[in-house]
């Protein structure tokens, strides 16, 4: 092992990371501010259809549900959304169809918002991360469980996100006075964003918060590595929000230049006319019989993908990768890419993924990373990767901060909170057009 590879291996193992490769199979992750604060001015209640009751509600369970609704402000939601007036009236009438109807309706709406988020899908700009919680915790099963166990409050509490950032935002909401309407509105919006994701993100996962320009590798709730990132420029190349799976790490990757550059910018013709220039820049150029020119940049430090790429298959062609343009990591605002996530110390991250996901010895991972030869390491243990958008949350040092809304995605969420609650639809992600952002430059 060379001195360089030895140092790389030591850097990876320095924090005891190798011990994580011994995680038992059961511990492996599953695949996975100017709005009005309506705490003092509840939204107007729009007419909404009721949920057909499947079970009978007793007085004690209905009273417990009413108590949850009256205290739901603590979760950043609005009691008036869940018609406590109708539930109180039904309770006064005693048990029977009226109580069954009112309680079932309020419970169903509350489940939907606690589990899936209050924000309608049309207000979640470029949100393509599908939340599986409603499949794993269907409303009918939750209601049956709550009534069978007479634990309405416990069942509803079990729906809140487990991530520590949600708890931090909840505590901040409680500490923020009602007159601080703009701040309370931002806190609510970001609490709701956590509900758009899987309730439990897994034992090991990667999470990048786009407005923060940071990536975290989290194990058992602790950030064991953090990396600065460069994200997509605002506009057409803004980074979309995704929940995908790491399937492989590619060391010393090649880059097939997209036709938008080969043909659209004339790169292919220029390189064909100057083979020496193509070779000097590390490009391999071929021309098919039909005239199509293909340009592939070979592995090396000048490759547009740098020395590492993390495969996370998705329709947007988004991935995490290294970059030769490391000077941009020193900038405070790092929104320069065509959508993909450029990652600081990417080789270290790739080695870590190879160790955790393919149980590769650290020395072998280090040797591969410095070999200058293309090598794809498939994961035998896959990990979720989340590309999120939080404008308030804990930074990598654990302090609660507000981040710049670089893509202007707060306003639709804030507007939705200032408006009456909308009925849920079957839509699970944004229906905006998918833009393939396959240019890392």
Enclosing domain of residue 162: 35-200+409-441
Are 139 and 41 contained in the same domain? yes
Mean pLDDT throughout 23-38?
Answer: 41
DSSP 127: B
318-332 pLDDT per residue, tens: 999 999 999 999 999
Look at the chain and count its residues: 441
Are 167 and 104 contained in the same domain? yes
Are 183 and 74 contained in the same domain? yes
Extended beta strands in 277-374, E state: 283-287, 293-297, 308-311, 320-321, 335-337, 341-343
Are 374 and 417 contained in the same domain? no
Are 231 and 310 contained in the same domain? yes
Residue 264: which pLDDT band, with cuts at 50, 70 and 90?
confident
The answer to whether position 187 is within a domain reads yes
231-248 pLDDT per residue, tens: 999 999 999 999 999 999
pLDDT at 13: 55
Are 43 and 170 contained in the same domain? yes
159 pLDDT more than 70: yes
Are 346 and 311 contained in the same domain? yes
Mean pLDDT throughout 77-83?
Answer: 98
Mean pLDDT throughout 378-385?
Answer: 94
- What is the residue-wise DSSP string for 260-287? HHHTTT-HHHHHHH-HHHHHHTTEEEEE
Percentage of residues in the chain having pLDDT higher than 90 = 79
Least reliable range by pLDDT among 65-69, 155-159, 324-328: 324-328
The answer to whether position 283 is within a domain reads no
Mean pLDDT throughout 198-207?
Answer: 96
Q: What angle do CA 49, 52, 56 make, to 5 degrees?
A: 135
Are 41 and 23 contained in the same domain? no
Are 21 and 41 contained in the same domain? no
Are 13 and 98 contained in the same domain? no
76 pLDDT more than 70: yes
Are 330 and 435 contained in the same domain? no
Residue 52: which pLDDT band, with cuts at 50, 70 and 90?
low
Are 348 and 416 contained in the same domain? no
The answer to whether position 402 is within a domain reads no
pLDDT at 23: 46
pTM: 0.88
Looking up residue 250, the CATH number of its domain turns out to be: 2.40.440.10
pLDDT at 55: 80
The total of structural domains in the chain comes to: 2
């Amino acid at each position: 092992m060379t001195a360089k590879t030895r140092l790389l291996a030591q850097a990876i193992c320095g924090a005891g990371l190798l011990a994580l490769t011994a995680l038992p199979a059961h511990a492996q992750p599953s695949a996975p501010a100017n709005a009005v604060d309506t705490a003092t001015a509840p939204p107007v209640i729009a007419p909404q259809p009721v949920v057909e009751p499947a079970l009978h509600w007793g007085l004690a369970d209905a009273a417990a549900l009413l108590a949850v609704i009256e205290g739901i402000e603590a979760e950043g939601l609005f009691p008036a959304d869940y018609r406590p007036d109708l539930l109180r009236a039904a309770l006064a009438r005693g048990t029977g169809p009226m109580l069954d109807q009112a309680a079932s309706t309020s419970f169903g709406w509350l489940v939907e918002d606690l589990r899936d988020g209050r924000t309608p899908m049309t207000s979640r700009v470029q949100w393509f991360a599908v939340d599986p919680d409603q499949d794993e915790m269907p409303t009918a099963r939750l209601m049956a469980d709550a009534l069978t166990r007479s634990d309405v409050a416990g069942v509803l509490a079990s729906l809140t996100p487990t991530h520590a950032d949600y708890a931090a935002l909840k505590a901040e909401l409680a500490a923020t006075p009602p007159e601080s309407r703009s701040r309370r509105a931002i806190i609510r919006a970001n609490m709701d964003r956590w509900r758009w994701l899987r309730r439990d993100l897994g034992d090991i996962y990667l999470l990048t918060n786009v407005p923060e320009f940071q990536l975290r590798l989290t194990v058992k709730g602790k950030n064991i590595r953090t990396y600065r990132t460069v994200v997509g420029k605002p506009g057409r190349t803004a980074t979309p929000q995704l929940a995908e799976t790491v399937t492989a790490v590619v060391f010393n990757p090649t880059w097939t230049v997209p036709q938008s550059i080969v043909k659209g910018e004339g790169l292919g013709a220029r390189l064909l006319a100057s083979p020496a220039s193509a070779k000097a820049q590390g490009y391999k150029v071929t021309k098919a019989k039909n005239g199509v020119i293909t340009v592939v940049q070979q592995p090396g430090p000048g490759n547009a993908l740098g020395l590492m790429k993390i495969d996370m298959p998705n329709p947007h062609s988004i991935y995490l990768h290294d970059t030769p343009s490391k000077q941009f990591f020193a900038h405070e605002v790092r929104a320069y890419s065509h959508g993909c996530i450029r990652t600081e110390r990417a080789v270290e991250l790739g080695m870590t993924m190879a160790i955790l996901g393919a149980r590769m010895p650290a020395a072998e991972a280090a040797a591969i990373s410095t070999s200058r030869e293309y090598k794809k390491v498939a994961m035998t243990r896959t990990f979720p990767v989340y590309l999120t958008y939080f404008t308030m949350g804990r930074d990598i040092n654990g302090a609660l901060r507000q981040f710049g809304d670089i893509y202007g995605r707060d306003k639709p969420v804030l507007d939705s909170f200032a408006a009456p609650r909308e009925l849920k639809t079957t839509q699970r992600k944004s229906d905006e057009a998918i833009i393939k952002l396959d240019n890392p430059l």
